[in-house]
């Protein structure tokens, strides 16, 4: 059974969530890097570390060695953005 996690949001409200990141850490790192690269937080001023800490707190996961995971992702010979490739394949319209 999942337990509800309570935390105080920046606006002072108590937030309850049962959401947990259950994907791979590499997928999460790929997502964090994509969001930072695209400037999706704080008008592009949020750092990788700030985004990673936010995700760690929100989804009860330790991202771990963020930069090392990024280097592993960049060193892939093919399909460097495997997570986004999987999402694209799953969300593409099915023919037939």
The alpha-helical segments, DSSP class H, found in the chain are: 25-37, 48-59, 66-74, 82-91
Confidence of residue 2 (pLDDT cuts 50, 70, 90): low
User: By residue range, what is the domain housing residue 67?
Assistant: 22-90
Residue 81 lies in a domain: yes
- What's the number of domains the chain is made of? 1
- pLDDT over 90 for what percent of the chain? 24
Residue 49 lies in a domain: yes
- What global pTM score does this model have? 0.69
Residue 3 lies in a domain: no
Residue 72 lies in a domain: yes
Work out the end-to-end distance of the chain between its first and last CA atoms, rounded to an integer number of angstroms: 39
Residue 96 lies in a domain: no
Residue 1, pLDDT above cutoff 50:
no
**Measured distance CA(76)–CA(64) in Å, rounded:** 19
Residue 4 lies in a domain: no
Residue 7 lies in a domain: no
Secondary structure percentages of the chain, helix, strand, coil, to 5: 50, 10, 45
pLDDT tens, position by position, 36-52: 999 999 999 999 999 99
Residue 5 lies in a domain: no
């Amino acid at each position: 059974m999942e337990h509800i996690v309570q935390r105080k949001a920046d606006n002072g409200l108590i937030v309850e969530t049962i959401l947990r990141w259950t994907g791979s850490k590499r997928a999460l790192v790929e997502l964090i890097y994509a969001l930072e690269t695209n400037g999706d937080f704080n008008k592009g001023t949020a750092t990788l570390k700030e985004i990673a800490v936010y995700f760690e707190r929100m989804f009860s996961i330790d991202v771990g060695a963020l930069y090392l995971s990024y280097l592993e992702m960049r060193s892939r010979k093919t399909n460097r953005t495997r997570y986004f490739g999987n999402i694209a394949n799953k969300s593409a319209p099915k023919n037939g």
